[in-house]
Structure 1
Amino acid sequence: MESRATVIIPTFGDAKFACWAIKSVQEQTIKDIEICIICDGSPENMVALFKNIAKEDVRIKVFTYPKSPRTGEPYRDAVIKQTTGKIICYCSHDDLWLPNHVQELEKTLHTCWFTHSIHAVVNMPDKENTACAEPLAKAESRLCPSGNIALIQAESYSGSSLFSHIYWADLQDPIIIDKMLNGRNFFGLTYGAHTRESYVNLEEGWITTPVKNIPTDLYMWCKFLSGYKERCKTTMKITALSFPKLYRKEWSEQQRDDELKLYFEKILDPSFLKRIDNIS
């Protein structure tokens, strides 16, 4: 029997903090989903942790594979072929979905084949009162319909800067499409979604990305953009939070876990969600 959505959560390494990404997926307003945790060479203790989580939720399946050359892209293809969701969504193991993520992307996918929501990068705690201090201080980029980039001051939440970057990109803008096809990415794995039909009809799905300097998610997105063009649309809402490791290189796993726990608790607060929705 078909489910409304298949959710793929790729993970690797000793990533205990991934439990918060999983919890954010479990808390979706749409409950009829398959949750697929793909262990890309994950150590035995992590596989055991995920299997224990799966015992408490019949929607969760754990797939284990040896470490891939990059981010386990071919494993995603294998899992898609074993699942039934009408749409397919992704959540990185160190990001969080807001409760309406699947609901909003599903709504857009009623009228297109590939979509994404707005990529929003959460500021680090020690930067929250400094309004995007370096190295995050490009402010947020709002990509206008012309394809030009206008820098605007970061949105404020409770007197501090919640986000370091918000990337506003419209897939109906041919200039944005051209930029992406030429190597610029405006949204990560967590934000993209597509119909099962559109994936099946591609000449090629997820494979190991052959070019080292191209992000693995962008390499896949470009297949949709090249193949479907006008059938690609942006969901103009912030429906997920990104916590890039790039800016947290010196953090311990416990620090990352603490941060994700904090924000998981925040996304259960309707007032927090309302303020984010007002930004969109």
Structure 2
Amino acid sequence: MTTPLFTVLLPVVRTPELLPYAVESVLAQTEPRFELIVIGDGAPPETIACAEEFARRDARVSVRPFPKGERHGEAHRHAVLGSARGSLVAQSADDDLWFPDYLRELAALLAEVDFGNLLTSLLKPDGTVVTLPGDLADPRWRQAMVDRRWTSFGPSTAGYRIEAYRALPVGWSPAPTDMPTDVHMWRKFLSAPGLRVGTRFAVESIGLPTPPRVGHSLAERSAEAAAVSRRIATEEGRRALREAAVHGLQREQADSFWAREDLMAAYEHTRGAYEHTRGAYEHTRGAYGRARAEVERSASVAAAALAEVERLRSSRSWALTAPLRGAAGLVRARLGRD
């Protein structure tokens, strides 16, 4: 048997309505050297049967059923990677669809780095596409992923070299309940000394995530996945999805740009108000200074006058003229009676 270039993991937990579309998008890869391992994380028997049907049709597919594991069954992924035959590892999900060149693009990235990602593009129920920004080559993005419970890509657009994974002290393991599974794993890679990381700016997949589809039946979601699969099967359909993905990224950048512009306008307005207030303050401060100087001058004059009065009262002449001041007082009193 030919040694595969890729080991592709596809964990699944729910009923099989979406699984065929995800598996078929893997089997349609232009890079055919892969093994696809469907990991049943407590998946129901009908899901395992669906996966086993693909395994009967294509020798590259195998199925590993497990009881439901802790959290998202991360330990099952680690167990499967213990016997992985590919030198490179990729992962998909039953609600993700790969374009035919996905593995080819990921292989080009992993020829240069040990851990990295392609761009993540998510199709919303209204037909718009959201593309997550991010670049692992930028240390600010890496630090944000280490410091925050946040990532710009999930497992279905990530890849890594198997030797880099096996060199980690701990591989896939149950994440803390307050942390996303992928963030928990990516931090292990990003904390590994000397690991080469990077992002390839290629849109080679489309995600149909569950959160914005809460309330949609699995039949509705299956019909949507079938329609998107038909688009992916044609060059024109892939081009349209890529254009929508780029538009989504441009829209994100435009939103950020105008948010910055609004902040700058608010800053300039606040700065103008501050300068006006500061001018009024300086004017008031000047008037206060002048008034205070006048008060201090008047106080100085009053103090000088009081000192002069005290000096006169303590003088010999003041004592000698005391009888005269007394007589003058009597005269004024008598004149007042007359």
Whether these two folds match at TM > 0.5 is yes
Q: Contact conserved, 1:170 with 1:234, CA < 8 A, in 2? A: yes
Q: What are the residue-to-residue correspondences of 1:58-137 with 2, within 5 Å?
A: 58-124=59-125, 127-128=126-127
User: In the TM superposition, what is the alpha-carbon distance from 1:276 to its structure 2 partner?
Assistant: 4.1
Higher helix share: 2
User: In the TM superposition, what is the alpha-carbon distance from 1:277 to its structure 2 partner?
Assistant: 4.5
* Equivalent residue in structure 2 for 1:255, among 207, 220, 237: 220
Cα shift readout 1:181-206 (whole Å, capped 9, x = no counterpart): 12211111101100111111111111
User: In the TM superposition, what is the alpha-carbon distance from 1:28 to its structure 2 partner?
Assistant: 0.5
Higher strand share: 1
Q: Which residue of 1 aligns with 2:146?
A: 181
Q: Which residue of 2 aligns with 1:222?
A: 187
**2 CA distance for matches of 1:236 and 1:230?**
20
**2 CA distance for matches of 1:2 and 1:36?**
15
Q: Which residue of 2 aligns with 1:142?
A: none
* Equivalent residue in structure 2 for 1:244, among 209, 223, 228: 209
Q: Which residue of 2 aligns with 1:23?
A: 24
Q: Which residue of 2 aligns with 1:199?
A: 165
* Equivalent residue in structure 2 for 1:190, among 156, 166, 187: 156
Q: Percent identity?
A: 27
Q: Which residue of 2 aligns with 1:169?
A: 134
**2 CA distance for matches of 1:103 and 1:225?**
24
User: In the TM superposition, what is the alpha-carbon distance from 1:43 to its structure 2 partner?
Assistant: 1.0
RMSD of aligned Cα (Å) = 1.4
Cα shift readout 1:192-244 (whole Å, capped 9, x = no counterpart): 100111111111111111x1121101111111111156611001111111111
Q: Which residue of 2 aligns with 1:139?
A: none
Pair 243,176 (structure 1): closer, same or farther in 2 beyond 3 Å: same
TM-score (norm 2): 0.69
Larger Rg: 2
SS at match of 1:64: strand
**1 CA distance for matches of 2:222 and 2:54?**
16
**2 CA distance for matches of 1:190 and 1:85?**
17
Q: Contact conserved, 1:15 with 1:253, CA < 8 A, in 2? A: no
Find out whether 1:213 has 2:170 as its counterpart: no
**2 CA distance for matches of 1:79 and 1:184?**
26
Residue 188 of structure 2 aligns with an amino acid whose one-letter code is: K
By relative contact order (CA 8 Å, sep 6+), the higher-ranking structure is 1
**1 CA distance for matches of 2:228 and 2:241?**
13
